[in-house]
Amino acid sequence: MRPIKSSIKFGTDGWRGIIAEDFTFANVRLVARAVADYLEQTGLGKKGLIIGYDTRFASADFARAAAEVIAASGTRVYLCDRPLPTPVISYGVLARKAGGAVIITASHNAPRWNGFKVKTTEGASAPTEVITLIEENIARLAGSPPPESGPQGGAVDYIDLAPPYFKQMESLVDLPALRQAGLKVVIDSMYGAGAGYLRTLLEGGSSRLVEINGQPNPNFPGIERPEPIMPNLAGLSSRVVTETGSVGLATDGDADRIGIIDENGNFLNQLQVYALLALYLLDVRRRRGPIVKTITSTSMLYRLGKLYDIPVIETPVGFKYIAPVMVREKAIIGGEESGGFGFRGHVPERDAILAGLYFLDFMVKTGKTPSQLLEYLYEKVGPHYYNRLDVAFPKDERRGMTRRLEESQPPRINGTAVVKKDTFDGFRFTLADDSWLLIRFSGTEPLLRIYAEASSQTTVERLLQAGKKLVGV
């Protein structure tokens, strides 16, 4: 057989590719062999490996292919018996005391994509040093013939990870109180692996639950991709209004990102949600400890840090950077602009299901609607608004775009003085009024992302347009 040639690279959260173009069975088996070698190199194979998958095209088949390869290396494989949310699988690593996990998912990407995520023994996104070793293994193995399939040296056991996850949710949240709170919760599972989870956790009391897009569908009909941001949540917004709902909760394709619609059908952006969840932990739960944020997340967290006398630590984009800091610093929460949040006492990884439950608990404990919670937050930190532009571009233009950003030294943007430019992760311009503009290339998709946060939505939109001019798109 012909040797496999590959230029597979992991981004901010795993390796992703277009199905049948570069995300092929041959490449999945190659990456699985590299993971198997990593498990042998580190001795983690003795603990076994969990393999899970989402509801995308052929995810179950890709997962079985990976399981066969890794089992053939001698590692015992625990293969999920059905599609599961990523946070359920991540927590399963802790529950089973496994050596880690592989998850076949492309999270929020468009239907033609799939992906390969690696989780550590803590259930967290694999950090840079782990990914580097796996990529070195991929490069070494890429020139060799593909492996024989079949569990020659190990075993494959089918497992159900939902029960321990449900038990964990019961230990973290007062579910009986949420069930009896009389809320009307509209849930949008975005046709993904999270379908049914919030409904199952919350049903059985006076709270009413309406779930839309609750049948998994790898085409994600009616939406460009299962990312819980406003362009994809028009249906949820409309349903909250027509149902006179208390709140709308959306989970992305693998249920590690959350989107929230308030009682009036308005989208609470991801930065607002992060600040609200941090405020909930500080104000209602009386938790104390560091907050970890990515560069793209909200400056409201710095103001909360001052108010509650806690440190705020910034990282590059990606939970592979957030998770190690959360563990080391015993952070109460870690999160990013994408709508992914992790919490102390759980796995140091994004969990949209738990984030949704915590948000509901914030409503119940304070007696406030989502819009009132936002007002309460703004009373403490002042109004903050945010938006992001995603710009597709031809690959051959990336070098020129990067050069223009490297050379740009604007004294003012949107009429406000630039007080700092940094390249911590992308190109960030901090302005004299504490607003900021960030331009960076996506680590998971061929997109340029332009982010801005300011004290008014008008200023945000002007900053985004100024960002487009800076990069020349």
pLDDT at 336: 93
Identity of the amino acid at 239: R
| 111 Cβ contact partners less than 8 Å away, ≥ 6 residues apart | 56, 57, 218, 219, 220, 225
Every domain of the chain with CATH number 3.40.120.10 lies at: 15-164, 182-266, 269-358
Domain range 15-164, CATH class: alpha beta
Task: Evaluate the CA torsion angle 22, 24, 30, 32 in order and state its sign.
Answer: positive
Residue 143: is it exposed, middle or buried by C-beta count within 10 angstroms (0-12/13-18/19+)?
exposed
Class of domain 182-266: alpha beta
Q: How far is CA 180 from the centre of its chain?
A: 30
Structure tokens at 338: 């994408």
Please name the residues in contact with 8: beta carbons below 8 A apart, sequence gap of 6 or more. 15, 17, 22, 27, 30, 31, 135, 138, 142
Alpha carbons 359 and 276: distance in angstroms, whole number: 8
Contacts of 268 (CB under 8 A, 6+ apart): 260, 261, 262, 276, 370, 374
398: three-class secondary structure by DSSP: helix
Number of C-beta neighbours around residue 314 at 10 A: 18
Cα distance between residue 282 and residue 272, in whole Å = 15
Q: Which two tokens stand for residue 172?
A: 């973290």
The rounded distance, in Å, linking the Cα atoms of 382 and 16 is: 39
Pairing of strands 77-80, 49-53: parallel
Q: Could you give the CA distance from residue 100 to residue 46 in angstroms, rounded to a whole number?
A: 11
- Give me the CATH code for the 385-471 domain, please: 3.30.310.50
pLDDT < 50 stretches in the chain? 1-5, 150-151
The tens digit of pLDDT for each residue in 61-72 reads 999 999 999 999
Please report the pLDDT score of residue 447 as a whole number.
Answer: 86
Give the chain's radius of gyration (CA, Å): 22
Q: CATH for 269-358, among 3.40.190.10, 3.40.120.10, 3.30.2010.10, 3.40.50.300?
A: 3.40.120.10
